[in-house]
Amino acid sequence: MNDTLYRSADIVTTSLTTATVATLAAGLLCALGLSWTSDKWRPPLALACVALLASGVAYLQALGIWQAVGELSAAPRYVGWYTAQPALVAAAFFYARVAGPVPVGVFWRSVVAALLMVFSRWLGDAQIFDPTLGALLSIAFWLYILGELYFGAMSNAVRGRSRPIRSGYFWLRLIMTIGWAIYPILHFVDVVIGVGHVPSIIVLYTVADLVNLITLALIYLSVAGKERY
């Protein structure tokens, strides 16, 4: 058991604790939502729940490491990202599939691109190959995902559907564009420039995850609720 006193001034512990509690609570909320939403909305909600719970467990591990040794690398984050980001991309696919037909090939291409997006950053972070190359490859895979969201079959499926579906798709696409841009930026500062996983980087990553994960999950939940009721 850690004997270190938890002080309000410790913003890293505060941010990691908040992320742990918030992601697990939001994951539980999505799990409860599965019981009152219609069948067609359960795949995106279930995937959002998985993303949140995986992130909560990763943050719990990161919190324990920080309290034990007073420093943290990006490694625990990759544990959560390898599950959360592909799951959220898959959830976007099933969200669009509710609105209209989308080829299953879009699912596989998008999910594989999400895995490679995280894997490329990890390769650079682990110094297995050039960090700059890892950052550029990660950006390329992220841009491919955005291409599917903006110009592919998912966008066509949502066009002309009900206002809640179109509005929800607009916001989830915006989050994956602006919100997810923080990951290559922070990776570049942390790894390529070599600033390291300092407290400010830890807090910024954590805030980004809170916004990107929880907001996306609540979009799926709210649109499913409007469609049902």
Going from N- to C-terminal start, the domains of the chain cover: 11-228
Angle between helix 215-228 and helix 163-174 axes, rounded to 10 deg: 180
Looking at the predicted structure, is the pLDDT value of residue 229 above 70? no
Cα–Cα dist 182/128, whole Å: 23
For position 109, what pLDDT does the model report?
96
Residue 59 in tokens? 């943050």
User: Could you read off the pLDDT of 38-97 as tens digits, one per residue?
Assistant: 888 999 999 999 999 999 999 999 999 998 888 898 899 999 999 999 999 999 999 999
Least confident segment among 2-11, 13-22, 77-86: 2-11
CATH number given to 11-228: 1.20.1070.10
For position 194, what pLDDT does the model report?
84
Looking at the predicted structure, is the pLDDT value of residue 99 above 70? yes
For position 1, what pLDDT does the model report?
44
User: Could you read off the pLDDT of 22-36 as tens digits, one per residue?
Assistant: 999 999 999 999 888
Question: Which residue's structure tokens are 């729940």?
Answer: 49
User: Could you read off the pLDDT of 109-158 as tens digits, one per residue?
Assistant: 999 999 999 999 999 998 898 889 999 999 999 999 999 999 989 999 99
Percentages helix, strand, coil for the chain (3-state, rounded to 5) are: 80, 0, 20
Sign for the CA dihedral angle at 78, 81, 83, 89 comes to negative
For position 207, what pLDDT does the model report?
94
Looking at the predicted structure, is the pLDDT value of residue 161 above 50? yes
Band of pLDDT at residue 17, cut at 50, 70 and 90: very high
Model confidence, pTM: 0.92
Band of pLDDT at residue 216, cut at 50, 70 and 90: very high
Residue 95 in tokens? 């969200």
Decide: 19 and 45 in contact? Cβ < 8 Å. no
The CA–CA distances, whole Å, from 81 to 22, 89, 127, 153, 183 equal 16, 12, 18, 25, 11
